[in-house]
Structure 1
Amino acid sequence: MNRRAWLLFLLVAVLWGIPYFLIKLAIDDLSPVFVVAGRGLIAALVLLPVAAVRGTLGALRARLGVVSVLAVVHIIGPFLLITYGEQHITSSLTGLLIAVEPVVIALLMSGTEPLTRVRTIGLVLGFAGVAVLVGLDVSGDRLGLLGAGMVLLAAVSYAVATMLVQRRAADVPPETLAGGTTAITAIVLAPFAIMTWPTEPVHAKAWTSLALLGVLCTAVALLAFYRLIALAGSTRAGLVTYLNPVVAVFLGVIFLNEPLRWSTGAGFALVIAGCWLSTRPVPSRAAEPETEAAVPAVAH
């Protein structure tokens, strides 16, 4: 990768590593559904004008069906699951559990990409890492197990969304796709956000966190990731998933005083090893040039 690609890679890694920290700050004063609706609205207000300037908004009308489905499985579902889940587990553990997403994708794609011995070992290691993280970090805590389960379900939802974009929406311009899904998120959740409008004073840190989630962690991160794919290819761009948890753990430990246990390091190592092995390309028997399907941005 060239210098510009590396800079984009690091930018996306940071922008998708800090949402868990910001969510933790926002839900101190705001309801989870309010946070998700606000994040979607802010991102849409940034992305839709970009799409309008580029003249790509018309693509939404023709692909409204698939964009609506993506809004549910790519943003509404996982955003709510993660935000509610963080009421019961640390932001560090949340970031680590989301890192299992490449393992889930490899498992879901096993029908079209054969499960070699190496990939199977990777899947086993990845799920073993999750077992270590969940079993030791929230052992005996029912609410903790519930929160971890929500985050893992969000990772599955992200994986399904990835496959859906690859197969159904790869031709939709990124700013239009991201703008459409975030706008639909805001519209769908607006009534629930109004119902949970804060009645107590909201601290500035909560509003600031929400603004950063919308502008940086959603709108800017999505556009940067799509540009990274164009410069470096989807395989290299997808490796950003491995670096996000490092940022999440660092912020949680330093600024939120979250515990750093030995199980955190052990589980993270297993998850990363599993992700790396399970996502290794399968050697082609035919001497044909390899082609890469576009991998969409996964909004954290």
Structure 2
Amino acid sequence: MPTPGSAAVEVEHARRLRAGLWLGLLGMLIFAGTIPMTRLASGSNEAPQLPPVFVAIGRAGVAGLLSVAYLLVTRAPWPRKSHWTMLFMSALGNVLGWPLLLGLAVRRVDAMHASVITGLMPLATAAVGALMLHQRPSRGFWAFALLGAALVVAFAAWSGAGRPQLGDLLLLGAVIASSIGYICGARVSSGPQGMTAEQTISWVLVLALPATLPVLVMQWPTAPVHPAAWAGFAYVATCSMWMGFFAWYRGMAWGGALSVSQVQLLQPFVSILLSVAVLGERLRPATLGFSIAVMACVYLGRRMSVGAPRPRS
């Protein structure tokens, strides 16, 4: 018979799981704006705006300066010795790899195309999480994750994204880099000795400043740029690169990296809708059908067990 104390612990655990899912959803919504805003900031090969390298790396320089201020104001402690490797890996994946590869890709493909290809990220994140966090997702969990990913691939093929091209390869590399960065950041912000989500992403960005700040300064454009491009840059620098991770890392720490990562299955379709609103790209009706199917996969996948971490040998 459960004691009152154990019942209270279970209630609190369930509350944190729900809160983790909602925070993950908030982070996903913020990140969904990354692709259309990156496209808005950098333009296309036919109508270029800000240089892709400046958008990709310079935004991390801005977020890094904001992180320095945040860490000083909050008097955040220094990371533990065991955290530095994961922070460095997260910086390589989320601060350098993902934005640079994405920035180069959206010069070659439109935002809808990029949104569909990056829909593979939940599966990549779940696979990396299973390996790095020693978790045991159930067969049902993997079945719905694979089904959701297959729907994304089918949508890409239907919309003409099935042909291999450089933009797709760049996007695939961006997905892998970001997935590794997500899990490494989640490892730092979880556990009894972990840092808070806000401290984690701030230290990641500060660690990358020696690489990002020189790019921000030296690549600052001298030619006139459309104000909308600067608005896109401001969004990816403050929201995509910084504040979105506040919600995302805490969501994965509370709700579990494998489970929370599945809300990313909705991200390509949110990005597509934003591409219509922000960029004026044409929305095809079949997108709604794929959106409903993917949402069903997310709901059913959430009902599948994830399992406890495997004991390390």
TM-score with structure 1 setting the length: 0.75
What is the distance in 2 between the residues matched to 1:174 and 1:50?
13
The question of 1:254 aligning with 2:277 is answered yes
Contact preservation (8 Å) 1:60, 1:67? no
Contact preservation (8 Å) 1:13, 1:241? yes
Distance of aligned partners of 1:91 and 1:234 in 2 relative to their CA distance in 1, 3 Å threshold: same
What does residue 70 of structure 1 align with?
90
Distance of aligned partners of 1:24 and 1:223 in 2 relative to their CA distance in 1, 3 Å threshold: same
The question of 1:200 aligning with 2:220 is answered no
Q: CA shift at 1:23, angstroms?
A: 0.6
Q: Deviations over 1:212-248 (max 9, x none)?
A: 2212222222223455567x63477545424433431
| Paired amino acid for 1:54 | T
1:103-142 equivalent positions in 2, closer than 5 A: 103-109=123-129, 112-114=134-136, 116-139=138-161
Q: Deviations over 1:274-300 (max 9, x none)?
A: 55555654376xxxxx79xxxxxxxxx
Contact preservation (8 Å) 2:144, 2:297? yes
Distance of aligned partners of 1:186 and 1:270 in 2 relative to their CA distance in 1, 3 Å threshold: farther
Contact preservation (8 Å) 2:57, 2:100? no
Contact preservation (8 Å) 1:56, 1:173? no
Q: CA shift at 1:264, angstroms?
A: 3.6
What is the distance in 1 between the residues matched to 2:56 and 2:71?
22
Give the paired residue count.
283
The question of 1:20 aligning with 2:26 is answered no
Q: Return 5+ residue gaps in structure 1 as ranges.
A: 285-289, 292-300
The 3-state SS of whatever aligns with 1:261 is coil
Q: Return 5+ residue gaps in structure 2 as ranges.
A: 1-14, 44-48
What does residue 173 of structure 1 align with?
196
What is the distance in 1 between the residues matched to 2:130 and 2:252?
23
Q: Could you tell me the percent identity over the aligned residues?
A: 23
TM-score with structure 2 setting the length: 0.73
Q: CA shift at 1:96, angstroms?
A: 3.4
Contact preservation (8 Å) 1:20, 1:94? yes
What is the distance in 2 between the residues matched to 1:7 and 1:274?
17
Distance of aligned partners of 1:251 and 1:73 in 2 relative to their CA distance in 1, 3 Å threshold: same
What is the distance in 2 between the residues matched to 1:257 and 1:141?
24
